[in-house]
Amino acid sequence: MSTKKKKFLITTPVYYVNDKPHIGHAYTSVAADVLARAHKLQKEEVFLLMGTDEHGLKIQQKAEEAGKNPQQFVDEISDGFKDLWEKLGIKYDTFIRTTDGKHKAAVQKVLQTLFDKGAIYKGEYEGLYCIGCEQFKSEDELVNGRCPDHDTDCEVVKEESYLLKMADLQNNLVKKIESDEFKIRPEKYKKEILSFLKNEKLKDVSISRKNVKWGIPLPFDEQHTTYVWFDAFLSYLTGLGWNGDTSESSTLGFWPVDIQLIGKDILRVHATIWPIMLMHLGIELPKLIFTHGHLLSGGRKMSKTIGNVISIDEMLEKFGVDDTRYLLMSAGTFGEDVDVTMERLTEKYNADLANGLGNLISRVVKLILNLESPPKADQPLADKFQSQNPNDEISNFIEKLELNNALSYIWDIVRKDDKFIEENKPWELVKTNKEKFKEVMQKLISDLYLISELLVPFMPGTSEKIKKALKEKKTDGLFPRIK
């Protein structure tokens, strides 16, 4: 009998290739990979979609500065993203690039469909444009007339443009957000978007640019290229193999997407332009947009000028793959801004990994040597010591995207086991009470197998190493202390 597996689709944003990938990109991607692996463990058919966003003025300008032709420029940087995902143990199913021929053809097909049905029309657009965000900004988004995310002045743009109708669908969108048919989480972001949508009538959005060369030409007016966000959003569908034909839903097998992970700076576009594009196309909205906060360093936005940027390569070199994944995911509440510094990361590494889990493993492995027949992995867990079902507890955290809480839960087991060792003094039991010693060891070994199982989505390599250490009774320098 074949039972149909539940499908689970998760996406990260397609990252801009104006510069090399950084720790912020790694944060989103590691989280997506953890969620994808966790859902795989629940026997779901999982698809993790990632990619790069390769058009627009910002990239065109960067390529010019580097004296490279834009395609060569984006090829190199896009490869750098793929390399980093490999180094971080991230296993995506498709890596979509918005300069792929198939993606471009699909975008043109969508544009033509929307133009033919009158959802896109020719007009004029006037507004303040932030090149860093690649977005027109409304007054309420600016601070002293400047973009707060990029700390730059906005450019006044007034030009002939094609526009996408927005306001007609606004009430409908509000209803879908209110009813959670289109879920925005954490809750505070749902509130923020609803209050924005209820207080302001959405302006039609300019979806073309006349003087940006590096973009997909509009099929009905070759003097214009497609606005980079319109192009990028569609990668969430073309990445699944969709060819832009609205009557053809077969290639959208995984749609609607279960989770779209994004950072807070790109929430508003994801909660307005994107769903309205889908509504015009008659395609279901994402089930959930989950917004995480930003990684800050020393209380401030990371910036090359301030000199507080934490390099992901440096982290990988210092801590290795799994420990970097652990440090990113445990750094703070997933959904809130999180402050990191290299010193604090190192302290946390030493506390949780070297002195915490690493120390527990090496104590248990040393004690195993006193057992005539150590328990095996498939032996039942020492249930009598466990009040909750840890697998269910972790599934609950995963369901709510409380990734840091899932890890805290696992580290609670580590702490309780340390206490259990102190209380039971197995090094004395081995001499005084062999039966009790065996029982205590059974509990500790079961817990370590359990921990290794619970760690699979977060630290897949370490999970294997823990099992190996228990089987071979040697720790081989797991989690060395770091200065």
Angle at the Cα of 82 (from 77 to 88), degrees rounded to 5? Answer: 125
Report the alpha-carbon distance of residue 314 to residue 320 in Å, rounded. 9
Q: Which of 9, 295, 331, 429 binds ligand MSP (CB under 6 A)?
A: 295
Supply the minimum distance, in Å, between the C-beta of residue 481 and ligand MSP.
28
Any idea of the CA torsion for 201, 202, 203, 208, to the nearest 10 degrees?
Answer: 180
- CB-count exposure of residue 200 (10 Å: 0-12, 13-18, 19+): exposed
263 binds ligand MSP (CB under 6 A): yes
28 lies in the binding site for ligand MSP (CB under 6 A): yes
Per CB under 6 A, 186 contacts ligand MSP:
no
Q: Is 103 one of the catalytic residues?
A: no
**162-193 burial string, b = 16+ CB within 10 Å, else e?**
bbbbbeebbeebeebbeeeebbbbbeebbebb
Catalytic residue among 20, 68, 183, 301: 301
224 part of the active site: no
Give the whole-angstrom CA distance, residue 292 versus residue 404.
12
State which of positions 50-109 bind ligand MSP (CB under 6 A): 53
- Supply the minimum distance, in Å, between the C-beta of residue 125 and ligand MSP: 20
* Minimum distance of ligand MSP from residue 320's CB (angstroms): 21
Which residue in the list 4, 158, 201, 304 is annotated as catalytic? Answer: 304
Is residue 27 within the footprint of ligand MSP (CB under 6 A)? Answer: yes
Residue 13 near ligand MSP by CB under 6 A: yes
If DSSP codes are grouped into helix, strand and coil, which group holds residue 284? coil
Q: Which amino acid does the sequence have at 153?
A: D
Contacting residue, 266, 327, 394, 407, with ligand MSP by CB under 6 A: 266
User: Quick one: which of 54, 69, 49 has its CA closest to 228?
Assistant: 54
Pick 87 or 294: Cβ nearer ligand MSP: 294
Q: What is the closest distance, in whole angstroms, from the C-beta atom of residue 465 to ligand MSP in the complex? A: 29
How far apart are CB 27 and ligand MSP at their closest, in Å? 5
Sign of CA dihedral 312, 22, 147, 236: negative
154 annotated active-site: no
Using rule CB under 6 A, residue 227 touches ligand MSP: no
Q: Which stretch binds ligand MSP (CB under 6 A): 11-19, 121-129, 241-249, 417-425?
A: 11-19
Taking CB under 6 A as the criterion, the residue among 294, 318, 436, 473 binding ligand MSP is 294
Contact between 16 and ligand MSP per CB under 6 A: yes
Residue 437 engages ligand MSP in binding (rule: CB under 6 A): no
Judge whether 435 and 372 are in contact, CB under 8 Å.
no
**Complex with ligand MSP: residue 15 or 129, whichever CB lies closer:** 15
Tokens encoding 6: 């539940």
- Residue 286 in contact with ligand MSP, rule: CB under 6 A: no
Residue 481 DSSP label: -
Q: Which stretch binds ligand MSP (CB under 6 A): 261-269, 316-324, 390-398, 412-420?
A: 261-269
Whether 39 is catalytic:
no
Residue 9 forms beta bridges with which residues?
A: 47
Task: State whether the Cα torsion 343-349-352-356 is positive or negative.
Answer: negative
Q: Does 275 bind ligand MSP (CB under 6 A)?
A: no
Distance of alpha carbon 401 from the chain centroid: 11
Q: How far is the CB of 127 from ligand MSP (least distance, A)?
A: 19
The least CB distance from residue 65 to ligand MSP, in Å, is: 18
Residue 91 annotated in active site:
no
By CB under 6 A, how many residues form the interface with ligand MSP?
18
Q: 28 vs 113, which CB is nearer to ligand MSP? A: 28
Is residue 231 near ligand MSP by the rule CB under 6 A? no
Report the residue number, 172 or 303, with the smaller CB distance to ligand MSP.
303
Strands 152-153 and 146-147: antiparallel
Say whether residue 216 binds ligand MSP (CB under 6 A).
Answer: no
| In the complex, minimum distance from the CB of residue 393 to ligand MSP, in angstroms, rounded to a whole number | 27
Select from 9-17, 37-45, 193-201, 444-452 the region that touches ligand MSP (CB under 6 A): 9-17
Per-residue CA distances from 193 to 137, 141, 321 (Å): 15, 13, 36
| 273-277: long-range contacts, CB 8 A cutoff, minimum separation 24 | 273/164, 273/166, 273/205, 273/229, 273/230, 273/233, 274/233, 275/173, 275/176, 275/182, 276/164, 276/166, 276/169, 276/173, 276/202, 277/164, 277/230, 277/233, 277/234
Give the nearer residue to ligand MSP in terms of CB position, either 133 or 394.
133
Closest CA to 263 of 8, 15, 9, 18: 15
Find out whether 213 and 194 touch, Cβ atoms under 8 Å.
Answer: no
Position among 232, 257, 367, 455 found at the interface with ligand MSP (CB under 6 A): 232
226 CB-side CA count, 13 A:
30
Token digits for 35? Answer: 């969620």
- Closest approach of ligand MSP to the CB of residue 172, in Å: 22
Catalytic residue ranges: 22, 25, 130, 133, 147, 150, 301, 304
Chain positions contacting ligand MSP, by CB under 6 A = 13-16, 24-25, 27-28, 53, 232-233, 262-263, 265-266, 294-295, 302
